[in-house]
Amino acid sequence: MKSPAFDYTRPGTLDEVFALMGEHGDDARLLAGGQTLLATLNMRLSEPALLIDINRIDALKGITVRDGMLRIGALVTHREIEESALVGQHAPLLAMAAPHIAHRAIRNRGTFGGSIAYADPAAEWPVCLVALEGVVVVRGTGGERRIAARDFFVDLYTTDLRPGELITACEVPVASDADVFVFDELARRHGDYAIVGLAVVGRRGSGGFASVRLCYLGMGTVPVCPSATEALLEGHALTAVSIDAAIDRLTTELDPMGDLTNTAQTKRHLACVLARRALNTVMNAAS
């Protein structure tokens, strides 16, 4: 199919973007990497009157480190994250997740900010951002807001973005030597949307995990963090016994949504498989 007719503009500043968004309202759509938008246009799931191409705006680009935070501009591509030395050093979880995103052609064009704004619960970046306790930086005519990632994702494809706002960057705390990271997902074939995925972020303490965060993709309408299981793991050394206890807790805590190809029971089982793999990886690394 082909997209419906639309007008196209390519502003050079954020002020121009906000003026266009204010003038056209819901009839306008922002174009970044276009890997989601162009598909919805061609399927006529989206019919904007105006596309606002934001790719000329330098303020939305670049990866930097400042004041203990790694800042990733909204227009940074998946490939740039995958190949960034700064990301590999300061946010290894993102480097681990990047190769799981679709295929290289899509990673060359798709953007970090676009993925966060679209808020697909089966995507890798939202779950990583929540697991890392990151911050989404948004801006509109009313100024800048900083929203905790756990509060940004509200429901299926729904975020805390207000009319006239856009994402300018996301920030995550830089990793320390005490931090451990694991990312894994299960898909029918590489490049497909994952059936289930898991991001693990832990901080080692004297008695085991001083803190731990498990965050799942593909399990609900937003990234899912099983808080009771996290609490069970914190403050304890990882052993085969404690991992068994965590898996038992997960089995009762997780309440996934089934889809067209996988039942809720299947997803719960696979989520536990991923958790056991990840926790065993951390335990073996520590030993």
Task: Return the pLDDT at 285.
Answer: 82
* Averaged pLDDT for residues 50-61: 97
pLDDT in tens, 189-206: 988 899 999 999 999 888
Mean per-residue pLDDT, 89-108? 96
């009771």: which residue's tokens?
228
Beta bridge partners of 138: 145, 167
Per the CB < 8 A criterion, the answer to whether 169 and 72 are in contact is yes
Percentage of the chain modeled with pLDDT above 90: 89
Q: Which domains does the chain have, with CATH numbers?
A: 7-53 (3.30.43.10), 60-173 (3.30.465.10), 179-286 (3.30.390.50)
Considering the chain, what percentage of its residues have pLDDT values greater than 70? 99
Beta-carbon contacts of 70 under 8 Å, excluding residues fewer than 6 positions away, are: 63, 64, 86, 87, 90, 91, 171, 172, 173, 174
Reply yes or no on whether the pLDDT at 236 is more than 90. no
Q: Which pLDDT score, from 0 to 100, does residue 287 have? A: 66
Q: How do strand 69-73 and strand 135-140 relate by DSSP bridges?
A: unpaired
The average pLDDT across 22-48 equals 93
pLDDT at 226: 98
pLDDT digits (tens, 9 = 90+) for 111-134: 999 999 999 999 999 999 999 999
Residue 208: predicted pLDDT: 81
Burial 41-50 (b: 16+ CB within 10 A, else e): beeeebebeb
The answer to whether residues 57 and 13 touch, using CB atoms and an 8 Å cutoff, is yes
Q: Name the pLDDT band for 165 (thresholds 50, 70, 90).
A: very high
For residue 14, which phi and psi values (nearest 5 degrees)? -65, -35
Reduced to 3 states (helix: H, G, I; strand: E, B; else coil), residue 19 is helix
Average pLDDT over every residue of 33-54: 93
* pLDDT of 242 higher than 80: yes
φ and ψ of 285, to 5 deg: -65, -40
pLDDT at 209: 86
Cα separation, 11 vs 21, in Å, equals 11
Length of the chain: 287
Q: Please name the residues in contact with 145: beta carbons below 8 A apart, sequence gap of 6 or more.
A: 137, 138, 139, 165
In this predicted structure, what is the pLDDT of residue 1? 67
Segment 233-262 shows an average pLDDT of 94
Round to whole Å and give the CA distance between 21 and 30. 9
Helical spans, DSSP H, in the chain: 14-24, 37-42, 78-83, 85-90, 92-97, 104-109, 112-118, 124-131, 149-152, 227-233, 240-253, 264-286
Q: How far apart are CA 187 and CA 83, in angstroms?
A: 23
Q: What type of residue sits at position 136?
A: V
Tell me the pTM: 0.95
Token pair recorded at residue 188: 């029918």
